[in-house]
């Protein structure tokens, strides 16, 4: 049997595993199968590319393919799609331009990622209806907004057929379906391009999480963000489930929702991330309760010698103490790196997650870590107590301060910190890392209130906003 380590998927988890395996064991053969063109790229930068702040899609590539091949010695096979896995024979069936072949493996990593979730309503196949999870999709959306803008010499446009025929039509109004992270970041991107932007969501408020969306940023953050969106001229259509997409001549022209019709020249759907598990499921590999591939602490699946990491695999949530599906970049990189170490002889845990998420909505920073949804906390056996405080981002006498709202949750019986969310114009994205650290340490809110956090007038008041929230919440528990 070959000692070959085969990786299916060339993005965060896959390339982290491949590079780590080669560093740990330079003699180990490592093959990466990637069905598309791009590998090792920063998908989180796509909204800024669509906006035009990042001029070229290739700027989002983290590590050039030439470096992966030359420096690391990885056998990188782009435009090679794994279509079947046989765990009994330890082979992967691969489709390539020159035909189909079987590839033996000693160890296999499934890093097949995730796809934008479908709404399963009529009209989703109309031109102008997009999801965004890959660079190909990002380029297609930017090209649709401004034909020719995403093209550069030597690049092949990821568009064809009748789609090209529609590119002469001007895009003036864009609708975003789903008030989630990517969707809200693209709201700002569309606004920066001078478009009339509409946000359509089935929840009564933004950030109301569904089964495929990221953790909630909290009710307090939702209120601040909604007000800010309206101030920036975005039209909100809340509590408006989409019933169908309407179109003419194959191109989308409107969204029809339970609250009425929203005309649109283009639509971005962000209803969450669906794990790409078809390859695993067809091979008889177990899926977990979230629908993603079930793995143990080391990323091992139910099939001997087969691992999974990244957006296709479950992670263990430290606070909830159960498997979750969290399609986040750091967890993918960390999980792939751990598998790369494990397969070369040093078993390494992937590590738990606490769901730390940061984002920017126009000039607002929004961040959260842990569990903010009381219902979700109760489902894990906690009795949640919620406290919300509004304070200032800098010392009151230092110019330029603004408001920060902190929502913090703890368990009534034990005082354990369960999560916190922050929203404001500054000082939120990095403060949340202290929350994540406290969650990993299992600290109580009383212990958080006693933390010796840094202080300087340009960066915060004497009592840091996190300390203020923890003190208030600790008082609620007394």
pLDDT in tens, 34-90: 998 888 877 888 899 999 888 888 888 777 777 777 788 999 999 999 999 999 999
The residue to which tokens 């982290």 are assigned: 16
Output the DSSP codes for 36-87.
Answer: SS--SB-GGGHHHHHHTSS--GGGGBSS-HHHHHHTT--EEEET-EEEEEET
Rounded distance, CA 445 to CA 416, Å? 6
The yes-or-no verdict on residue 226 having pLDDT over 50 is: yes
- Which residue bears the tokens 């030439």? 66
Mean pLDDT calculated for residue range 297-318: 97
Token couple for 308: 């999974």
Count the alpha carbons within 13 Å of 353 in the hemisphere toward its beta carbon. 26
Report the pLDDT averaged over residues 233-254. Answer: 96
At a CB cut-off of 8 Å and minimum separation 6, what does 453 contact?
Answer: 434, 464, 466, 467
Query: What's this model's pTM, rounded to 2 decimal places?
Result: 0.92
Residue 64: its pLDDT value, please? 77
pLDDT at 170: 83
* 352-375 per-position pLDDT tens digit: 999 999 999 999 999 999 999 999
How many Å apart are CA 36 and CA 280, to the nearest integer? 19
Structure tokens at 71: 């420096």
Q: Is the pLDDT of residue 151 over 80?
A: no
* 8 Å CB contact between 363 and 327: no
pLDDT at 111: 97
Greater pLDDT, 163 or 228: 228
Q: Residue 298: name the closest of 340, 355, 352, 338 by CA.
A: 338
* Residue ranges of domains in the chain, CATH in brackets: 5-113+276-342 (3.50.50.60), 116-272 (3.50.50.60), 363-477 (3.50.50.60)
pLDDT of 163 higher than 80: no
Band of the pLDDT at 159, cuts 50, 70, 90?
very low
Which residues are catalytic, by number? 44
Within 13 Å of residue 431, how many CA atoms lie on the same side as its CB?
34
Residue 260, burial from CB neighbour count under 10 angstroms (0-12, 13-18, 19+)? exposed
Cα gap 438→415, rounded to integer Å: 13
pLDDT confidence tier of residue 117, bands split at 50, 70 and 90 = confident
pLDDT number for residue 210: 66
Q: Does the pLDDT at position 158 exceed 50? A: no
For residues 211-215, give the mean pLDDT: 68
Q: Is the pLDDT of residue 261 over 70?
A: yes
How do residues 385-407 score in pLDDT, each as one tens digit?
999 999 999 999 999 999 999 99
Task: Give dist(CA 415, CA 434) in Å, integer.
Answer: 17
């Amino acid at each position: 049997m070959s000692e070959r380590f085969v990786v299916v998927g060339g993005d965060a988890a896959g390339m982290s595993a491949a590079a780590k395996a080669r560093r740990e064991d330079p003699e180990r053969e490592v093959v990466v199968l990637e069905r598309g063109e791009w590998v090792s790229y920063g998908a989180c930068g796509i909204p800024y590319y669509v906006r035009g702040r990042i001029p070229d899609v290739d700027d989002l590539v983290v590590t050039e393919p030439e470096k992966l091949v030359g420096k690391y010695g990885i056998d990188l096979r782009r435009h090679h799609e794994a279509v079947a896995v046989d765990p009994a024979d330890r082979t992967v069936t691969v489709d390539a331009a020159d035909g189909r072949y079987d590839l033996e493996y000693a160890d296999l990593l499934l890093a097949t990622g995730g796809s934008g979730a479908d709404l399963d309503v009529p009209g989703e196949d109309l031109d102008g209806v997009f999801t965004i999870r890959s660079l190909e999709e990002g380029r297609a959306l930017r090209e649709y907004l401004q034909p020719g803008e995403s093209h550069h010499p030597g690049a092949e446009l990821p568009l064809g057929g009748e789609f090209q025929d529609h590119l002469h039509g001007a895009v003036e109004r864009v609708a975003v379906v789903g008030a989630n992270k990517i969707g809200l970041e693209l709201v700002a991107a569309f606004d920066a391009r001078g478009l009339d932007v509409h946000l359509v969501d089935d929840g009564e408020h933004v950030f109301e999480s569904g089964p495929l969306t990221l953790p909630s940023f909290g009710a307090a953050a939702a209120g601040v963000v909604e007000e800010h969106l309206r101030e920036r001229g975005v039209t909100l259509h809340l509590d408006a489930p989409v019933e169908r997409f309407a179109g003419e001549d194959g191109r989308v022209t409107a969204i029809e929702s339970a609250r009425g019709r929203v005309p649109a020249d283009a639509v971005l759907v962000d209803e969450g991330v669906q794990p790409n598990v078809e390859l695993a499921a067809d091979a008889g590999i177990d899926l977990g309760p979230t629908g993603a591939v079930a793995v143990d602490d080391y990323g091992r699946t139910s099939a001997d010698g087969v691992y999974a990491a990244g957006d296709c695999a479950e992670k263990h949530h430290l606070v909830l103490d159960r498997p979750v599906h969290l399609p986040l970049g750091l967890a993918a990189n960390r999980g792939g790196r751990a598998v790369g170490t494990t397969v070369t002889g040093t078993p390494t845990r992937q590590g738990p997650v606490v769901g730390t998420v940061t984002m920017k909505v126009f000039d607002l920073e929004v961040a959260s870590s842990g569990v903010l949804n009381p219902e979700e906390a109760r489902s894990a056996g906690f009795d949640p107590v919620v406290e919300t405080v509004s304070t200032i981002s800098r010392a009151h006498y230092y110019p330029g301060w603004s408001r920060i709202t902190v929502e913090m949750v703890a368990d009534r019986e034990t005082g354990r910190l369960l999560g916190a969310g922050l929203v404001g114009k500054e000082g939120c994205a990095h403060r949340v890392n202290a929350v994540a650290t406290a969650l990993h340490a299992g600290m109580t809110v009383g212990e958080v209130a006693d933390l010796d956090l840094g202080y300087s007038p340009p960066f915060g008041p004497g009592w840091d906003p996190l300390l203020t929230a923890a003190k208030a919440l600790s008082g609620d528990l007394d």
